[in-house]
Amino acid sequence: MKLNNIDIRDIFFENIKKIFLKNNNFFILTNDADVFALQKLKNHPRFIDAGVCEQNLVNIASGLARKGKKVLIYGFCNFLCHRSFEQIKINICSMKLPVFIVGIGPGFSFSYDGPTHHGVQDIANMYTLPELQIVNLSENKLAHYFSRNILKITEPTYFRLDKGILYSKHKFNIYSNGFNYLKSKNKKKIIITSGYFSRLSEQLVYDKRLNDVSIIDLFNFKKLNMIKLYKIIKNYKKLIIYDENTKSGGFSFIINDLIVKRNLKFSKIKSICSPEKQIFIYRQDRETLLKDLKIDKSYLFKSLLKI
Where do the domains of the chain lie? 8-161, 179-306
The pLDDT assigned to 233 comes to 96
Chain centroid, CA 283 distance in Å: 22
The pLDDT assigned to 151 comes to 97
The pLDDT assigned to 185 comes to 80
Instruction: Return contacts of 221-225, CB within 8 angstroms, 24+ apart.
Output: 221/123, 221/127, 221/134, 221/135, 221/136, 221/178, 221/251, 221/254, 222/127, 222/132, 222/133, 222/134, 222/178, 223/133, 223/178, 224/177, 224/178, 224/179, 224/254, 225/176, 225/177, 225/178, 225/179
Domains 8-161 and 179-306 share a fold: yes
User: At 181, which helix (H) or strand (E)?
Assistant: strand 179-182
pLDDT in tens, the chain (307 residues): 789 899 999 999 999 999 999 999 999 999 999 999 999 999 999 999 999 999 999 999 999 999 999 999 999 999 999 999 999 999 999 999 999 999 999 999 999 999 999 999 999 999 999 999 999 999 999 999 999 999 999 999 999 999 999 999 887 777 679 999 998 888 899 999 999 999 999 999 888 899 899 999 999 999 999 999 999 999 999 999 999 999 999 999 999 999 999 999 999 999 999 999 999 999 999 999 999 999 999 999 999 999 8
What residues contact 268, with CB distance under 8 A and at least 6 apart? Answer: 237, 238, 239, 307
Neighbours of 123 (CB within 10 A): 29
Spatial distance between the Cα atoms of 68 and 74, rounded to a whole number of angstroms = 19
CATH architecture for the domain at 179-306: 3-Layer(aba) Sandwich (3.40)
* Homologous superfamily in CATH for domain 8-161: Thiamin diphosphate (ThDP)-binding fold, Pyr/PP domains (3.40.50.970)
The pLDDT assigned to 297 comes to 96
